[in-house]
Amino acid sequence: MVGTMNTPPEYVTDKDLSYLKDALSWELLAMKKCNHYAGMCQDQEISNLVSKAGQMHQQHYLRLLSEVNGDKTLY
């Protein structure tokens, strides 16, 4: 059984950094797509749901970014 890490390591490997960059890119792209498609929706209820999904991706992006920057104020 593999244990979970309670605190992050003191250094980030190249592989870790690559994964974080990918995750940031994925969240940013998802946020942009949601915002784009929310603006295209004619049904307000669907537009609101897609916009809410975009906000969720924005929060994920900001949380990842805060982890990279060592900022603990976002959560």
Structural domain total, the chain = 1
Residue 64 structural domain: 14-68
Distance, in Å, from the CA atom of 24 to the CA atom of 19, rounded to the nearest integer, reads: 9
Distance, in Å, from the CA atom of 30 to the CA atom of 39, rounded to the nearest integer, reads: 14
Angle formed by the axes of helices 44-69 and 14-40, to 10°? 160
Q: What digits encode the pLDDT tens for the residues 6-30?
A: 776 777 788 988 999 999 999 999 9
Does residue 74 lie in a domain region?
A: no
pTM of the predicted model as reported, rounded to 2 decimal places: 0.78
Does residue 55 lie in a domain region?
A: yes
Buried b (16+ CB within 10 A) or exposed e, 15-50: eeeeeeeeebeebbebbeebbeebeeeeeeeeeeeb
State the pLDDT at residue 19: 92
Q: What digits encode the pLDDT tens for the residues 44-74?
A: 999 999 999 999 999 999 999 988 887 766 5
Q: For residue 2, what is the DSSP state?
A: P
